[in-house]
């Protein structure tokens, strides 16, 4: 494996991408920004934002046109996610969660599964979620205990899952379960579980630090029965499909980080030019200027990493040979978001600690990005192992 930069894989934003950014930014500033603080405060699911995104055709922005999507790929999704995340951390989950839930179907689903689920998500008629994590099995996916057993023409599922985002509103959940308990990751399969399946109980929403508007719940399976045709791809091949799905969805997490960080920079910069100390705007003080400069550099670098990773996915390159790009995009962008939020609060001083300003909310929201879909410590291990070919 070479450590040289692959110059043959550039990306370039088209006129359509620029129009998308302009359109989504206007939509976010007019309709989503005024709702952001209330969504966080009340912890109420923003059905109105979902309806808005459905009406504007954003839910299928990344899906192929043959399924009713806009065909703009993961790069298009990242641009839309970034612009929404500038003003609200909850609302882009309608894109990023659905992106992850549909990836296994795109990769390994049957013709019928693709037509039904992808078309349903694109139109806004269906909402999806994705579940692998268990109380004792997060990044260590091989340790999962949820078991799917074939009985007649059905699969019977027993077990428990944790932290399933959007599950109370999901029409379907893409679930990872063991079908060969003794085979480690080679005994995992993926299933489409309807949200109203008998034997599935969705637990109460977790009490979260941030990202409070989209509920995250545990799932409990007690002889939950689903049709045999609801398996995605081949039996015991689900781990590979799930990893490919994570690779394709991680740029979306990175885009959330870029957007959040940009929102912090925009707000802190405007505040610094208005707030005076020692007879001059604090924007003239070098300590503040250095934080602003660092935020800008981190955001620009993160954006390029995210767009490159998204372009790789859209070019059909989402396997192990490029996994370090997906991990780097997620890791660097979410770290940049956390740092931008912390520095933004610091620039505002005491005001930054108050809920009258959005930066304390951004700070709470940013922490989630460093943890979900593989902690940033795991991402660093993935990057190093892939580069060292170990």
**Known catalytic residues?**
373
Alpha helices in the chain (DSSP H): 15-27, 33-42, 47-55, 73-85, 93-108, 111-113, 119-123, 238-274, 286-314, 323-348, 359-369, 376-388
**Which residues, in sequence order, are bridge partners of residue 156?**
149, 225
* Residue 356 in tokens: 């009258």
Structural contact between residues 230 and 191, judged by C-beta atoms closer than 8 angstroms: yes
Kind of pairing, strands 154-165 and 147-151?
antiparallel
Q: Are 222 and 158 in contact (CB under 8 A)?
A: yes
Selection from 97, 104, 117, 249 nearest residue 166 by Cα: 97
Buried/exposed code over 261-280 (b: 16+ C-beta within 10 A; e: otherwise):
bbbbbebbbebbeeeeeeee
C-alpha–C-alpha distance, residues 194 and 126, integer Å: 11
Beta-strand pair 216-227/154-165: antiparallel
Q: Which residues, listed in sequence order, are joined to residue 277 by a DSSP beta bridge?
A: 280
CA distance 386 to 390: 7
The rounded distance, in Å, linking the Cα atoms of 175 and 218 is 12
Torsion, Cα 57 62 63 64, to 10 degrees, reads 110
Among 128, 164, 127, which residue's Cα sits nearest to residue 146?
Answer: 164
Whole-angstrom distance, CA of residue 147 vs CA of residue 189: 10
Beta-carbon count within 10 A of 14 CB: 11
Q: Which of 188, 219, 181, 171 lies closest to 108, judged by CA?
A: 188
Q: How far apart are CA 234 and CA 130, in angstroms?
A: 18
């Amino acid at each position: 494996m070479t450590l040289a930069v692959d110059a043959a894989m550039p990306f370039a934003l088209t006129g359509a991408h620029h129009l998308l950014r302009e359109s989504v930014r206007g939509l976010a500033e007019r309709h989503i920004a005024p709702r952001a603080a209330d969504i966080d405060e009340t912890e109420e699911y923003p059905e109105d934002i979902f309806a808005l995104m459905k009406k504007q055709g954003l839910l299928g922005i990344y899906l192929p046109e043959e399924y009713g999507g806009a065909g703009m790929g993961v790069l298009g999704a990242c641009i839309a996610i970034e612009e929404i995340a500038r003003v609200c951390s909850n609302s882009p989950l309608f894109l990023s969660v659905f992106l992850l839930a549909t990836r296994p179907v795109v990769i390994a689903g049957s013709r019928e599964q693709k037509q039904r689920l992808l078309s349903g998500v694109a139109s806004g008629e269906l909402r999806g979620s994705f579940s692998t994590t268990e109380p004792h099995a997060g990044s260590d996916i091989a340790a999962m205990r949820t078991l799917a057993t074939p009985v007649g023409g059905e699969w019977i599922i027993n077990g428990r899952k944790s932290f399933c985002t959007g599950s109370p509103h999901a029409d379907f959940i893409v679930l990872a379960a063991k079908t060969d308990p003794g085979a480690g990751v080679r005994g995992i399969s993926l299933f489409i579980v309807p949200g109203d399946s008998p034997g599935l109980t969705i637990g109460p929403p977790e009490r979260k630090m941030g990202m409070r508007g989209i509920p995250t719940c545990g799932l409990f399976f007690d002889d939950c029965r689903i049709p045999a045709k609801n398996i995605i791809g081949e039996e015991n091949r689900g781990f590979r499909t799930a990893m490919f799905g994570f690779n394709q969805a991680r740029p979306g997490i990175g885009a959330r980080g870029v957007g959040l960080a940009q929102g912090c920079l925009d707000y802190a910069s405007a505040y610094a030019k208005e707030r005076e100390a020692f007879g001059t705007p604090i924007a003239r003080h070098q300590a503040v200027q250095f934080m602003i400069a660092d935020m800008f550099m981190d955001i620009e670098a993160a954006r390029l990493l995210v767009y490159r990773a998204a372009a790789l996915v859209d070019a059909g390159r989402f396997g192990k040979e490029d996994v370090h790009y997906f991990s780097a995009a997620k890791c660097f962008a979410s770290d940049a978001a956390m740092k931008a939020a912390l520095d933004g609060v610091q620039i505002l001083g005491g005001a930054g600690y108050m809920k009258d300003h959005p930066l304390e909310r951004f700070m709470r929201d940013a922490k989630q990005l460093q943890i979900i879909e593989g902690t940033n410590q795991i991402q660093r291990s993935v990057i190093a192992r892939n580069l060292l070919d170990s």
